[in-house]
Structure 1
Amino acid sequence: MELFLSQVTNGPILLLAVAALNLILLLIIVIQYVRIGRIRKSMNRLLTGTSGANLEEGMHRILDQLDDVKKMQRDQQFHINRLTQRVASQCSNVAVVRYNAFGEMGSDFSFSIAIVDDAKNGVVITSIFGREDSRVYAKPLTAGVSTYPLSEEEQAAIRKAIGSQIGA
């Protein structure tokens, strides 16, 4: 090596270049050390929370909370299904048909009102208004059909009530 250095006429320049290269490498090492320190600090903050819990414990806590939320959602869905069944069994479909029962009377004082649930069970109530008296009839409905004979007006009221549940 000494033989090589003695033959090189620019020895001081080469030595200066090697020294400069060493300085640049030292500077790169210092910069990388600072970056690694920042990453290490960030990882320590991530893995150790403010309350001293690490990331794994935090994830377990979040998963436990997620399980609780899923259980609450299942319970709420069960209650919604029960309420949906109760609402479907309520007689909420109502229709009224007014008519003139007797041709000589001047107004539509007679009426038939149908009150049915979503299964078409319920009742049809008819009031026939006459000059001398009025009569009221109630006929039960099962699946939209009654065991008693139904007038055209009563059937029309039932059709209207059953038709109103389609738009609901």
Structure 2
Amino acid sequence: MEDLLSLAENTPFLLLTVLAVILLLFLLLIMQSIRINRLRKSLNRLLSGTNGANLEEGMHRLFDELDDVKKRQADQQFLLNRLSQRIAGQCGNVGIVRYNAFEDIGNDLSFSLAIIDDSQNGVVVTSIFSRMESRVYAKPIEQGNSPYHLSEEEQTAIRKAMNQMAGTPS
């Protein structure tokens, strides 16, 4: 009986405590509801664009454009590789040596011209000038050497072309 009496005395206090907890929970519920509404509005704004297009459609369009860009980049890389191979095969490294083939003729009118590619293949052209005639010789070059005898001037022209290939000024 004493327990009932004690409970009756504490009932208003318990009731106020429970009421305060319920009120606190109700306030938290209202705050969460306001947050959810703000997030919902923000999400709706994000998912629907100004022209009626939504975010998902825009993302699909961007992914399609990205695929196109990747395909074009791969095509350009293939073309770049082909051009690099072609350029390496071009005889673009040139070395020239002018000299006097005979002592009685001046002005360095004779010359040796080496034209080689990056694999050191190409040709060396030599022109020998004299008072009576002029002769031109061409000798193939394979991997920096020729199956024919090379004069000192021809070897110098080949070295100059190879130095140009290596980036060293001739």
Identity of aligned residues (%): 56
Supply the RMSD in Å over aligned alpha carbons: 3.0
> Residues 9 and 66 of structure 1: is their aligned pair in 2 closer, same or farther, counting only changes over 3 Å?
closer
Please give the residue correspondences for 1:82-93 in structure 2 after superposition, counting only pairs within 5 Å.
Answer: 82-93=82-93
Instruction: Provide the rounded CA distance (Å) in 2 between the counterparts of 1:107 and 1:76.
Output: 50
Unpaired runs of at least 5, structure 2: none
Aligned residues: 164
Q: For residue 44 of structure 2, what is the aligned residue in structure 1?
A: 44
Q: Which residue of 2 aligns with 1:35?
A: 35
CA pair 148-45 structure 1, distance change in 2 beyond 3 A = same
TM-score by length of 1: 0.75
Distance in 1 (CA, whole Å) between partners of 2:11 and 2:85 is 98
Change (3 A) 1:4 1:101: farther
Contact 1:110 1:129 in 2 (8 A): yes
Is the counterpart of residue 79 in structure 1 residue 79 in structure 2?
A: yes
**Partner SS, residue 126 of structure 1:** strand
Contact 1:139 1:146 in 2 (8 A): no
Name the counterpart of 1:8.
9
TM-score (normalizing by structure 2): 0.75
Q: Does 1:150 align with 2:150?
A: yes
Deviation at 1:142, TM superposition (A): 4.2
Partner of 2:124: 124
Q: Deviations over 1:132-159 (max 9, x none)?
A: 2462423142424445432121122112
Moved more, 92-101 or 31-40: 92-101
CA contact (8 A) 1:120 1:142 kept: yes
* Aligned match of 2:67: 67
CA separation in 2, counterparts of 1:101 and 1:65?
Answer: 66
Q: Render the CA deviation track for 1:103-133: whole Å, top value 9, x for unaligned.
A: 5666644321111222333332223344x24
CA distance in 2, matches of 1:4, 1:134: 142
For structure 1, which segment, 144-153 or 93-102, has the greater mean C-alpha deviation from structure 2 after superposition?
A: 144-153
Stretch deviating more after TM superposition (76-85 or 107-116): 107-116
Shift of 1:36: 1.0
Cα separation, 1, equivalents of 2:121 and 2:158? 10
Q: Structure 1: which 5+ residue stretches go unaligned?
A: none
